[in-house]
Chain A
Amino acid sequence: MILLERVTHRFGERTVLRDVSAALPERRVGVVGDNGSGKSTLARLLNGLVVPTAGRVLVDGLDTRQHGREIRRKVGFVFTDPDAQIVMPTVAEDVAFGLRRSGLPRPEVRARVHAALTAYGLADRADHPAYLLSGGEKQLLALASVLVTEPALLVCDEPTTLLDRRNAQRVVALLHELPQQVVLVTHHLDLLAGFERVLVLEDGRLVDDGPPEPVLAAYRERVG
């Protein structure tokens, strides 16, 4: 369960989030809003990458201000650009990176890496250099590398923005099947069908909040 309590955040002079409060127990939460509305900052609050200037963020009762490391172990994060997220030279190595400090024995690590690669259709690419993957495959690799650590919550910051429609659908189909709670920040509004709740940000303020159909219809109307 995610709890935002009167969260305000400033980068220098610029206020990017203004007094946002929300309790998010739902398993599928979407976040939409224009460029610069504070979506990415909101996403980064959830794993403690950003600690708010005022107010607090709780994940399963832990405050991100004091328990950043524990929270990052619980919260997986998928970025927009997979190239920034893939840190190891080859596919299997990158998936194994997340398990490096798990203390699991080697055969177990290998088995989990293989299972993750199979689940995301990358098993035949295990020893490929990551840079030879297509954009869609790179994002699937980023997803596999995060999910292999079995986070309780997955936060995705526009994971489909750089992908074509087919790959975007593929990524979102995978997100739909996950047992985890998922918070998806996106500009692809149609990908939020089937979500339980959608938050709309505008200039750092939470301006709308509710089930996707009415909220997205109103958002579409507003942005024209």
Chain B
Amino acid sequence: MTLVGLYVPGGSLLHRCPAGAKLAGLAVLVVVVLQLRTPAQVGLAALVVLLGFLVARVPGRVAIAQVRPLLWLGLAIGAWQLVLTGWERAVVVVGQLVVAVALAGLVTVTTRTSDLLDVLESVLRPLRRFGVDGTRVALVLALTVRAVPVLVRLAAEVRDAHRARGVVAGPRAFAVPLLVRTLRHADALGEALVARGLDD
């Protein structure tokens, strides 16, 4: 399986740029992109983003993977806009969506997860007063990113177990063992976090 939006190692200008600056830049650029009104403007924005991917030397396959999840959504929105407003508006709306997601993808593939989490931690620091522990929030996000491939593996194990017994599993026969495995994994993960000094 491919996991969208994971760091691609590299030494480009974009890789070396501090994570905080990239996130701030992303926020500003997305706002700018949403202000665009003509297909030409959106096309220009798309070119700029493409240039960004080239500067960062992101492999084409990875770059496309950033926006591929938008395929069906983009087509549906495009068709809807075409019917309601006309082709120009359809191109602008879909283009904005693709450009914004590609920009976010560009930040994720050029920034280590831990650097992003560090930024999050410092942004959340002022909330400490209200009982928000930035370190914990960052850790939860890291665990979430880490959990995706683990869950995929657990699901594959359940499917294999069914196949090995020649059973075509219904949704319930699939969900129950997956849930059990997931809870067991959560227990083990909790133990590991304590063992690795999380409660310090």
Contact = CB atoms under 8 A, between A and B. Distances in A.
Contacts of B159: none
Size category of the binding interface on chain B: 20 to 34
B89 interface: no
Contacts of A131: 3, 149-150, 153
B156 interface: no
A87 B142 contact: yes
Interface in B125-145: 135, 139, 142-143, 145
A79 B196 CA distance: 11
B6 A129 contact: yes
A76 B142 CA distance: 22
Nearest to B150: A83
A150 B109 CA distance: 32
B194 A90 contact: no
A96 interface: yes
The CB with the most chain B CB atoms within 10 A, among A72, A84, A96, is that of A84
Interface stretch (B23-31, B55-63, B169-177, B184-192): B184-192
B193 interface: yes
A145 B197 CA distance: 12
25 contacts: A47-B195, A69-B200, A72-B197, A72-B199, A72-B200, A77-B192, A79-B188, A83-B185, A84-B188, A85-B188, A87-B143, A87-B146, A88-B114, A89-B6, A89-B146, A96-B114, A100-B135, A127-B7, A127-B112, A129-B7, A129-B149, A130-B146, A130-B149, A131-B149, A146-B196
B110 to A, nearest CB: 12
A127 B180 CA distance: 32
Contacts of A86: 146
